[in-house]
Amino acid sequence: MIRLLKFFGWSIVAVFCGLLLGLSGAYLYLSPGLPSVEALRSIQLQIPLRVYSSDNKLIAEFGEMRRTPIRFADIPPNFINALLSAEDDNFANHYGVDPSSLMRAATQLVKSGHIQSGGSTITMQVAKNFFLTSERSFSRKTTEILLALQIERQLTKDEILELYVNKIYLGNRAYGIEAAAQVYYGKSIRDVSLAQMAMIAGLPKAPSRFNPLANPARSKERRDWILGRMYKLGKITEADYTAAINEPLNASYHVPTPEVNAPYIAEMARAEMVGRYGSDAYTEGFRVTTTVPSDLQELANTAVHEGLMTYDQRHGYRGPESRLPGKTREAWVTELTKQRTISGLEPAIVTQVDKSGLQVLTRTGQEHVNWDTMKWARPFLNTNSMGANPKQPSDVAQVGDLIRVQRQPDNSLKFSQIPLAQGALVSLDPQNGAIRALVGGFAFEQSNYNRALQAKRQPGSSFKPFVYAAALDNGYTASSLVNDAPIVFVDEYLDKVWRPKNDTNTFLGPIRLREALYKSRNLVSIRLLQAMGVGKTIDYIARFGFNKQDLPPNLSLALGTATLTPMEIATGWSTFANGGYKITPYIIDRIESRNGDTLFVANPPSVPQGGAASDGIAAPAPQAFTVNATPGEVPGAAAPTPQAPAVAERIVDGRTTYILNSMLEDVIKLGTGRRALALGRPDIAGKTGTTNESKDAWFSGYNADYVTTVWTGFDQPESLGRKEFGGTVALPIWMNYMGAALKGKPPHTQPEPEGLLSLRVDPVSGRAASPGTPGAYFELFKAEDTPPSGNELGNGNAPGSPLPADEAAPIDLF
């Protein structure tokens, strides 16, 4: 018996020595190729790109992995206890390898003939997750053990746990415990309950098998087992255990919740970041702060949404999106799951029609639509006509109709439909080009086509101020007379005749430029362009930032037949708002690294302080400093060197823009923008624009704080309707936005530059008024352009004098 015991004893010693020798040999063989554990201290986990508003509200998150790293000190103790109870209850005592766990895994291997579990500690899992593949082999396991021993020697237990909880995959694109808490419960790991912590702690073993969304029963079983382990190990009380296992699973999928609805802004920032950093933009944890304040963006969203809805309902109801009569409730529920909510318009299926309205099935259940919200729904016949007013709900909808409803603040439903017309809004800071709000369409869910940047459309009369600016810089004055009379152009080669006309088909004869602008007289604009020369005028207008190839080289340019985007129009109009300076729109104000280091700060060319007031007379453009906005900043690079403020280039005489500004203010007071008088502001100026057949409707306007352009129309150009113009479709959107954006702000007008005079003018001749001239009024002039009095002016062809009788002589238009 003693001899047998000695045999077993020496056998154990021999096995131990063999294992020790084998491990030593493996270490000597593998150690030269082992990665440096020290690299774990500076490891860079993949973190998504996050885009924020200027007031630090989340706009969007981009990246395949959802991860929010968390410090060990911020991890709740109950979660650590839950995790260790599930994964490694001997973590505090072992040195990276738990022999008992390895022996248990070896026993399972002998019994089953294949690997069932690896006996891995959390430290070994860190080694595998950061340095190794998921291959199941003895060589990989040996390497894992050796790395774990090294990790334990060089890192503290807290550091190991922090690495582990931030790296592990926990299902549904969630990497790390903070992301998992956000995905499954919509809150931080610090705010979840004990039961919810146990559920998350159960995921590392098998994120798919124990997923609470895909396999709730297995997930609950795993959660309750972990809670039982915690109670058995003395980590929680019996009362805690009982309460936790009785808590419902209540997990649901939570997408990253933007605090600001600005998808077009987010996409612009994403595209710029990819241009700078390539694919690293999605993984390096960049924090991008945009120039867009959340309040202005939400105001823009509301203005465009309400404006397009109002226009759409003005033209009637086009009927249900589809009809599903005779279907079962289950079939209706299935159909609703296929439909998306579009810009707040929810899908609903009519289940009952009565005198009070509709009973509808929505994703939240059975709800009611009141008849009062349906009375607008006259049948759409065509763009210019509708059927009779509905007298009862059954005139509008039938059982089985798939319709759209809009949820009101009191949770009631309003009968609605998705507009077919589209719109865009751009609002800039004219002092430096910062984008303050941008909407690229009715709904990003329908299409990510950004009409504010990509839709090149004819701006119509909203382009005329550029022609008038050229005139004011070429000897014309606001009181110059130009003949508003019929004119005919003949192309002898193509045998074509062009007879431009005013939208009212009336003619006013000789008219002052100021009046011609606020009355939007087409023939005056054409005569101005003809007198100045098309080529010369295009050269002048191009300085506002337009590409010459977008400006037609013929007289139709005066009517706004160029093809330009809302952003280009707003950029050009900024020069009117800031006193004559060229600005460049920009969206990214700051870029920070994952560690909070500043990588980029915008330094846009800006209007000099007091520049509009002090240097009204055109001067050589000041040299602008180069903005450090080129691609190629390296993640983790040193903060950019502070730069001297870049100075915007003066492109127009400040006196010209001041006079033009006063003329555009008259568009609001006396012309096509009169509706904007309802805002009660003395500092706004603007111009409507409507193209042929009302295919495009525009309004551009500003004060010294914001310049805002609104476009409305169809993606495939067609008429908005005979009675629809810039003043009826686009202007209400502009007013809705600007009225709210400027609410509470004091009037902000351009300071008057030097070199201007205010003189009394004869309203009939546009000349300096003699004493006692009836109806004389004060007009602004450049000092060198003051008009002569009536008895000083001869019959020459000075700018603004009546044109000669042969002014309608044919010219080559094309």
| The one catalytic residue among 294, 461, 462, 525 | 461
C-alpha distances (whole Å) from 45 to each of 164, 197, 204, 557, 564 are 11, 23, 17, 55, 44
Using N-to-C axis directions, what is the helix angle for 534-542 and 464-472, rounded to 10°? 100
User: How many residues appear in the chain?
Assistant: 814
From CA 664, how far away is CA 701, in angstroms rounded?
9
From CA 385, how far away is CA 721, in angstroms rounded?
9
Q: Is 353 helix (H, G, I), strand (E, B) or coil?
A: strand
Dihedral sign, CA of 181, 182, 185, 187? positive
- As to burial, measured by CB atoms within 10 angstroms (0-12 exposed, 13-18 middle, 19+ buried), residue 680 is exposed
Cα-Cα-Cα-Cα torsion 307, 687, 575, 296, nearest 10 degrees, comes to -20
Helix, strand, coil fractions of the chain, as percent rounded to 5 = 40, 15, 45
Told to judge if 461 belongs to the known catalytic residues of this protein, a careful annotator would answer yes
Q: What are the DSSP calls for 497-523, one per residue?
A: EE----TTS---EEEEHHHHHHTT-HH
Instruction: For the chain, state the CA radius of gyration.
Output: 36
HSE, CB side, 13 Å, CA atoms: give it for residue 81: 16
Tokens of 530: 């003809």
Beta bridge partners, 403, equal 348
From CA 408, how far away is CA 255, in angstroms rounded?
23
HSE, CB side, 13 Å, CA atoms: give it for residue 680: 5
Per DSSP, 382 falls in state: E
| The one catalytic residue among 53, 61, 85, 87 | 87
- SS3 string, 248-297, reads CCCCCCCCCCCCCCCHHHHHHHHHHHHHHHHHHHHCECCEEEECCCHHHH
Per DSSP, 808 falls in state: T
C-alpha distances (whole Å) from 62 to each of 170, 280, 285, 310, 692 are 19, 11, 10, 34, 42
Residue type, 471: A
- As to burial, measured by CB atoms within 10 angstroms (0-12 exposed, 13-18 middle, 19+ buried), residue 349 is buried
Told to judge if 556 belongs to the known catalytic residues of this protein, a careful annotator would answer no
Q: Quick check: 37 and 154 in contact, CB under 8 A?
A: yes
Neighbours of 36 (CB within 10 A): 10
Q: Which helix (H) or strand (E) holds 346?
A: strand 345-354
From CA 371, how far away is CA 384, in angstroms rounded?
25
Q: Is 403 helix (H, G, I), strand (E, B) or coil?
A: strand
From CA 429, how far away is CA 271, in angstroms rounded?
22
The string over 548-579, giving b where at least 16 C-beta atoms fall within 10 Å of a residue's C-beta and e elsewhere, is: eeebbebbbbbbbbbebbbbbbbbbbbbbbbb
From CA 79, how far away is CA 168, in angstroms rounded?
15
From CA 498, how far away is CA 485, in angstroms rounded?
14
Which of 320, 318, 411, 399 is CA-nearest to residue 360?
399
From CA 102, how far away is CA 510, in angstroms rounded?
100
Q: Quick check: 789 and 768 in contact, CB under 8 A?
A: yes
Longest dimension (CA), the chain: 143
C-alpha distances (whole Å) from 354 to each of 368, 397, 514 are 11, 10, 58
- Any alpha helices (H) in 700-792, and if so which ranges? 731-741
Residues with catalytic annotation?
A: 87, 461
